[in-house]
């Protein structure tokens, strides 16, 4: 039996503690907040989308970074096992649209409750309002315990770092795990906000704030640097899109948000492309350009004396037609019959490719997850143990793995936490 300290009572930490205690180890969880699972509580808008029912082989398609690193952890504790765990621990679950799994109660606190009640039964203590300040090493290569911020030292044979990333700091994730990893000599990949809204350089999206566009398509391409670099995308060749997707987009006071934008943000690397990205919005993805031209032509012919800007309003939800007219550069005072075929063609091309410049993302406080983290090259994927420091394990968002929305990020936390806990010797 080993003495195990788990740092962090979030999704990964609670599941790591469950697995380690089930293996017969003596487990202590240290949590700086006053309660467990503060972030779980706000997931899925308070309902907690705890996993996704997709085929396990398809799971990895939803992981943005380092999917192969997750093979062992996901296959050894997959979504079916996660569902079974919660069902067995008093939290029945249901599957909704998009294979998203939620507690039947629709209450995220029932998810945390299932984990804490399992730990209570296993006599695992959680020390709340207690912050780990440093991890202690015997020789440079062996964990011997942790030091708390009141100076006390707690001995242990293994430490599992489940401190989360940097998003939504108020839930306790303040990046302490990166500091622990660096102090142990491990590499940490640069971090940035992900699953996060975009800031748009143009001012017009602000005028549409609150407007949601449904059934639209966006294509996002890096803006090439003026300085040519070795990278293909910077060498004068046309940059390839990093993302193309269909769905819903919301205009805000700073730019754009909504499910499609959040997913797209996982593919936009601003460290690699500091000049930002070009977003092209196709407001009519189901209609080919020539068909759209015929349709607009017909609208103009039906009301030749109307202002063309009023005539095209019927194609869009409120106010968006004004923006299209303004961006087209065609005087809004002109009538439908005065629009020539060249102008008609340009107008339709614009409707199918409204350009926006993504200048950056919102900050960590609005990001669902953190991109980057403890480098997966430092970690044995079959145990979650550091390759260089014996007894030091990492699980959850602190690692350089992240996925799109749909329950995949919590599944990563459950699986990596479970594998770390059950791998303790």
Ligand X SMILES: Cc1cc2nc3c(=O)[nH]c(=O)nc-3n(C[C@H](O)[C@H](O)[C@H](O)COP(=O)(O)OP(=O)(O)OC[C@H]3O[C@@H](n4cnc5c(N)ncnc54)[C@H](O)[C@@H]3O)c2cc1C
Q: Which residues bind ligand X (CB under 6 A)?
A: 7-13, 30-33, 38-40, 42-44, 48-49, 131-132, 162-164, 167-168, 171-173, 176, 368-369, 396-397, 407-410, 413
Distance in Å, CB of 214 to ligand X, minimum: 21
CA distance 232 to 61: 25
Query: Kindly report the CA angle at 382 between 378 and 383, in degrees rounded to 5?
Result: 75
CA distance 356 to 43: 30
Distance in Å, CB of 64 to ligand X, minimum: 12
Residue 131 or 295: the one with the smaller Cβ distance to ligand X is: 131
Distance in Å, CB of 217 to ligand X, minimum: 25
Supply 54's token pair: 């997709």
Residue 311 or 398: the one with the smaller Cβ distance to ligand X is: 398
Supply 195's token pair: 């699953």
Residue 98 or 228: the one with the smaller Cβ distance to ligand X is: 98
Q: Whose CA is closest to 196, among 271, 276, 101, 268?
A: 268
CA distance 19 to 15: 6
Distance in Å, CB of 162 to ligand X, minimum: 5
Supply 174's token pair: 């303040």
Residue 279 or 374: the one with the smaller Cβ distance to ligand X is: 374
CA distances from 23 to 3, 103, 297, 377, 421 (A): 12, 27, 71, 27, 8
Distance in Å, CB of 175 to ligand X, minimum: 8
Residues 87-117 as b or e (16 or more Cβ within 10 Å = b):
eebebebeeeeeebbbbebebbbbbbbbbbe
Residue 82 or 292: the one with the smaller Cβ distance to ligand X is: 82
Q: What are phi and psi of 324, to 5 degrees?
A: -60, -45
CA distance 242 to 222: 7
Q: Which ranges in 307-352 belong to alpha helices (H)?
A: 308-312, 320-328, 341-351
Question: H or E segment at 359?
Answer: strand 354-361
Distance in Å, CB of 274 to ligand X, minimum: 26
Query: Which runs of E-coded beta strand occur in 79-228?
Result: 93-96, 100-103, 125-127, 132-137, 143-148, 153-155, 158-161, 188-194, 198-200, 212-222
Residue 173 or 328: the one with the smaller Cβ distance to ligand X is: 173
Distance in Å, CB of 60 to ligand X, minimum: 15
Residue 9 or 279: the one with the smaller Cβ distance to ligand X is: 9
Q: What are phi and psi of 140, to 5 degrees?
A: -60, -20
Distance in Å, CB of 10 to ligand X, minimum: 2
Find the helix packing angle between 320-328 and 341-351, rounded to 10°: 130
CA distance 395 to 19: 12
Is the distance from CB of 101 to CB of 53 less than 8 angstroms? yes
Residue 35 or 349: the one with the smaller Cβ distance to ligand X is: 35
Distance in Å, CB of 38 to ligand X, minimum: 5
Residue 168 or 308: the one with the smaller Cβ distance to ligand X is: 168
Distance in Å, CB of 345 to ligand X, minimum: 44
Residue 119 or 330: the one with the smaller Cβ distance to ligand X is: 119
Residue 44 or 205: the one with the smaller Cβ distance to ligand X is: 44
CA distance 177 to 258: 30
Distance in Å, CB of 123 to ligand X, minimum: 20
Q: Is 419 exposed, middle or buried (0-12, 13-18, 19+ CB in 10 A)?
A: buried
Under DSSP, the state recorded for 335 is: B
Parallel, antiparallel or unpaired: strands 125-127 and 26-30: parallel
């Amino acid at each position: 039996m080993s003495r195990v300290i788990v740092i962090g009572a979030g999704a990964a930490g609670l599941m790591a503690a469950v697995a380690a205690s089930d293996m017969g180890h003596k487990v202590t969880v240290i949590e700086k907040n006053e309660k467990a699972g503060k972030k779980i509580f706000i997931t899925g808008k308070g309902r907690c989308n705890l996993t996704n029912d997709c085929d396990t082989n398809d799971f990895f398609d939803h992981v943005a970074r380092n999917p192969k690193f997750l093979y062992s952890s996901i296959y050894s504790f997959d979504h079916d096992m996660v569902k079974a765990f919660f069902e067995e621990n008093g939290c029945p679950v249901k599957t909704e649209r998009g294979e998203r799994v939620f507690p039947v109660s629709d209450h995220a606190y029932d998810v945390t409750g299932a984990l804490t009640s399992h730990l209570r039964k296993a006599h695992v203590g959680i020390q709340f309002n207690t912050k780990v300040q440093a991890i202690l090493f015997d020789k440079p290569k062996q964990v011997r315990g942790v030091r708390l911020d009141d100076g006390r030292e707690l001995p242990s044979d293994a430490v599992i770092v489940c401190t989360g990333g940097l998003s939504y700091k108020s839930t306790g994730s303040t990046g302490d795990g990166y500091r622990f990893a660096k102090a142990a000599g491990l590499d940490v990949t640069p971090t940035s906000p992900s699953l996060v809204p975009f800031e748009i350089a143009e001012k017009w999206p602000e005028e549409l704030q609150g407007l949601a566009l449904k059934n639209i398509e966006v294509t996002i391409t890096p803006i090439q640097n003026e300085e040519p670099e070795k990278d293909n995308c910077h060498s004068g060749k046309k940059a390839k899109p990093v993302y193309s997707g269909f769905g819903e987009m919301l205009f805000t006071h700073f730019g754009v948000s909504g499910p499609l934008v959040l997913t797209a943000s996982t593919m936009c690397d601003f460290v690699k492309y500091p000049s930002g990205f070009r977003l092209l919005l196709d407001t009519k993805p189901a209609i080919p350009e020539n068909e759209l031209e015929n349709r607009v032509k017909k609208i103009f012919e039906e009301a030749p004396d109307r202002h063309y800007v009023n005539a095209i309003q019927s194609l869009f939800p409120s106010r968006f037609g004004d923006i299209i007219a303004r961006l087209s550069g065609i005087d809004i005072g002109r009538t439908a019959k005065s629009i020539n075929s060249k102008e008609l063609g340009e107008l339709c091309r614009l409707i199918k490719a409204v350009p926006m410049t993504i200048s950056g993302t919102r900050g960590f406080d609005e990001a669902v997850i953190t991109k980057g983290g403890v480098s997966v090259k430092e970690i044995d994927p079959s145990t979650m143990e550091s390759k260089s420091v014996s007894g030091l394990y990492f699980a959850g968002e602190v690692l350089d793995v992240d996925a799109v929305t749909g329950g995949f990020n919590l599944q990563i936390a459950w699986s990596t936490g479970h594998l770390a806990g059950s791998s303790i010797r």
